[in-house]
Each structure stands twice: as C-alpha cells, then as structure tokens.
Amino acid sequence: MNAMFRGKAWSFGFRTAVILYFVCLIILPVTGIYVQSFSEGIASFLASVFDPLAWKAVFLTAKLAMIATIVNVIFGTITGWVLVRYTFPGRRLLNSVVDLPFALPTAVGGLLILLLLGPGSLVGGWAEKLGSPLVFHEPAIVLAMVFVTFPFVIRGVQPLLEEMDQSQEEAAYTMGTSRARTFLTVIFPSMLPGIVSGAMLAFSRGLAEFGAVVLVAGNIPGKTLVASVYIFGEIESNNQQGAAAVSVILLTMSFLILWTVNNVAARRFQR
C-alpha cells in the first residue's frame, strides 16, 4: 500500500515538474510578448504593426522564407529519396551532415556564406562583375534561410520512404505503369505528409531566423531588412512595445503553422 502511495506521489511530482518547466519555459515568455505588445493600448499596437518599415520587413521575410521553403521542398525531397533508395560510398556521412545546420551556430552559417559569396570571394567577385551581387541582397538571405532549414524536409520524407510498403510500387511496375506515373500515383502520396510538414516547419523557422541572416542581409530598410533584424533594431532603439508587436505577428504565424503540422501528423497517424 505504501509502495503504491509512493508511486503515485512520484508520478504526481514528476508531472507537476514537467508542467512547471513547460509553463516557465514556454507559456510565460509567450504570454509576456503578447502582454508587452498591447501594453500601450491597441492603437499603439496597430500603429507599430502598420508602420511602413515594419510591414515591409514582415512581407519581405515571408516572401524570402517562402522561396527558401520551395527550394528546400525540391532539393530536400530529392535528397531524402537518394539517401533512402540508393546505396553509395559516403552515404552515412552525407546522412549525418544533413543535421549539421541543427548543430552549427547560425551565426557561423552566416559567416560561411559571407566568406563564400562575399565581394572578396571567387563567386562573389563574378557576381559583382555581372552586376548581380549576392551578399547584402535578397539571394544571400534566401541562401541563409535554406541553410538553416535544410534538414526539415529531408527528415520529414525519410521515415515515410523507409516505412512505405514497396509491394504497391512493384505491383504498379508489373502492370506496366511507367516510373513517372508510379511515382506520382503511388510514391508521392505517401511522401506528401512529410513534405508538407517539413515545408511548414522550414517556413516557420525561416521567418524567425536571425543569426545567419543578420550577417548577409545588408539591413537596408524596405529592401533587405527582415523582420527578426527589425525587431532587434527596435529593441536597440528602446522601443520594446514596437518590437513585441512585430514579434506577435511572427509568433501567431508560427502557432498557426505548428497547429497545421500537428493536424497533418494526426491524420497520417489515424490512417
């Protein structure tokens, strides 16, 4: 009886500790941002959100994050397919390197892009001569977002390909179906949930990227100033309410994306 009581006490204490940890780490900071954004009234909130520099920064960030997501969907799907379906020398190493953006500080990623594509580099020098500089312009921002979000689609696709029953694929080939049609009708629908969830996570991560972007963006208001750098600038200018207001927009977008991802995952689990 005492052992059962102690077991229940331990279980209750463990659950309480987890809930408190979650509240302190997630709930309170998120609530604080929303409270701070409306601290000076809704009129001040709307003025901060609809400030021309603010909404241009948010729009630019969403546009570039979408471009980076499309790039990741295309190349991430291909990479996931190759890692699962083909065996070749260095496959394990390549599979490990995929997670490098998760382990590498994002500022280091931005520095790598700056060194590889900057005016002093070979590629950057060619781009300058062609009149299309890369660093401190939108292409560098997209590349930085692609770098930090590269693993999401790959890791979303890989488990689905590994779990997929290949008997349906073989049956389609036996019936004379072409490889392209088999991919579109049999393989791609199985991969689609992973592609969608990975793409949404990549887009959400791209919206909030700061470390890799700040080094290569140029931070020109209305042209290369992204939302995360704008928020940092507002804090540096002692405008915490304005920074919180723009943060709320990004935070709400991320919540909607995560909710959609969870729904996609739940539907896949039910199937």
Q: What is the pLDDT of residues 82-98, one digit of tens each?
A: 888 888 888 888 888 88
Q: What is the pLDDT of residues 235-260, one digit of tens each?
A: 888 888 888 888 888 888 888 887 87
Residue 16 belongs to a domain: no
Residue 39 belongs to a domain: yes
Domain holding 118, by residue range, is 32-270
Residue 100 belongs to a domain: yes
CATH label of the domain that carries residue 136: 1.10.3720.10
Element (H, E) at 183: none
- Interatomic CA distance for residues 218 and 215, integer angstroms: 7
| pLDDT in the model for residue 270 | 59
Residue 7 belongs to a domain: no
First-residue to last-residue Cα distance in the chain:
42
φ, ψ of residue 98 in degrees (nearest 5)? -55, -35
Residue 19 belongs to a domain: no
Please check whether residue 95 is in contact with residue 81, taking contact to mean a CB–CB distance below 8 angstroms. Answer: no
How many structural domains compose the chain? 1
Residue 5 belongs to a domain: no
- Interatomic CA distance for residues 35 and 193, integer angstroms: 35
Residue 4 belongs to a domain: no
Residue 14 belongs to a domain: no
Q: What is the pLDDT of residues 40-90, one digit of tens each?
A: 788 888 888 888 888 888 899 999 999 999 999 999 999 998 888 888 888
